Amino acid sequence: MKKLIMAMAILLAASSVWAIQGTIKTATDTKKGDIKWQSRAKSYLVTVKTKGGGDVNAEYPLDKVEELDIEKPASFDKLVQMVSSGQGVQAIAGLTKIVADYKMLVWDKPAGRYLVEAYLAANNAQKAFDTAQTIIADDKSAAWSGDLAPAYWQALLKLGKQQQLDNCLRKAATSGDRLSSAAALSMRGDMILQAEGDSPDTYRKALTDAYLRVALLYTDEACKPARQTALLKAAQCFDKLGMASRAEGLRNQAKAL
């Protein structure tokens, strides 16, 4: 009996992880409570506490939900900083937990992006790919738009999954989402560098066909992240071409954004 009680306590502790507090909005309704994603039904279950202490459940199909307001996980910013400062391996456990706990709850894709980047930095492209796939399984558009997509494309590039990568970039370019289109064009530069070898012509082609086009054509505020990335990658190309002053100028532009 003692073992049974302990097992039930562990189960309850584990099951409470999914109960993420937030607000869900549709065209006709707004509910605040514990929100859970239901993969099979492609819907959200919202549990609201009544004044009498009971629970009332409401279910919302994904295509009816207009907005999810979910508070940022407490550890998110620290984990992102770890990845950005080269400590991605140490951030993997924390980011994995956020991706699992916040399944289809706003913060899974941003956390997924940095988790994929952490695995890529650790030279584990397969794990990066597998991680992205767990998110894309529930939201196919995450493969070509939003926070996760550019990191996912890097995993595809490293694994040589050319057809999948081409499909994603094509969808990104035609999605109507300016940020996704800019990120896709920048990714074309990465593909040029990988496919055509280490030569001045390769660096010039990556610059003119991709990175500098992003910097010049995507100057709107929404595209700032992709433009910043393109400027930094362009700077690396100019370094390779022996044009250090031009590279430094682009890095300064990126910092100023």
How far apart, in whole angstroms, are the C-alpha atoms of residue 20 and residue 111? 15
pLDDT of residue 18: 52
What number of helices (H) and strands (E) belong to the chain?
12, 5
User: DSSP code of 207?
Assistant: I
Parallel, antiparallel or unpaired: strands 20-26 and 55-61 = unpaired
Instruction: Indicate if the pLDDT at residue 12 is higher than 70.
Output: no
Instruction: Indicate if the pLDDT at residue 166 is higher than 50.
Output: yes
- In percent, how much of the chain has pLDDT > 70? 93
Q: Which residue has the tokens 């939900």?
A: 65
* Residue 197 burial (C-beta neighbours within 10 Å; 0-12, 13-18, 19+): exposed
- pLDDT tens across 17-57, in order? 457 999 999 999 999 999 999 999 999 999 998 888 788 99
**Contact assessment for residue 60 and residue 46, using Cβ atoms and an 8 Å cutoff:** yes
Which comes out higher in pLDDT, residue 68 or 12? Answer: 68
pTM of this prediction?
0.84
How far apart, in whole angstroms, are the C-alpha atoms of residue 255 and residue 257? 6
Q: What is the average per-residue pLDDT within 225-229? A: 93
Question: For the chain, what is the mean pLDDT?
Answer: 90
Q: What is the average per-residue pLDDT within 209-216? A: 96
Residues in Cβ contact with 71 at an 8 Å cutoff, skipping those fewer than 6 apart: 21, 22
pLDDT of residue 13: 37
Instruction: Indicate if the pLDDT at residue 246 is higher than 70.
Output: yes
| Phi and psi angles of residue 122, each rounded to the nearest 5 degrees, phi first | -90, 10
How far apart, in whole angstroms, are the C-alpha atoms of residue 242 and residue 200? 10
**Contact assessment for residue 44 and residue 37, using Cβ atoms and an 8 Å cutoff:** yes
* Residue 49 burial (C-beta neighbours within 10 Å; 0-12, 13-18, 19+): exposed
Instruction: Indicate if the pLDDT at residue 155 is higher than 50.
Output: yes
19: three-class secondary structure by DSSP = coil
How far apart, in whole angstroms, are the C-alpha atoms of residue 196 and residue 238? 17
**Residues counted in the chain:** 257
- pLDDT tens across 167-194, in order? 999 999 998 899 999 999 999 999 999 9
> Which residues on neighbouring strands pair with residue 58, listed in sequence order?
46
- pLDDT tens across 120-143, in order? 999 999 999 999 999 999 999 999
pLDDT of residue 10: 36
- pLDDT tens across 49-58, in order? 888 878 899 9
pLDDT of residue 253: 94
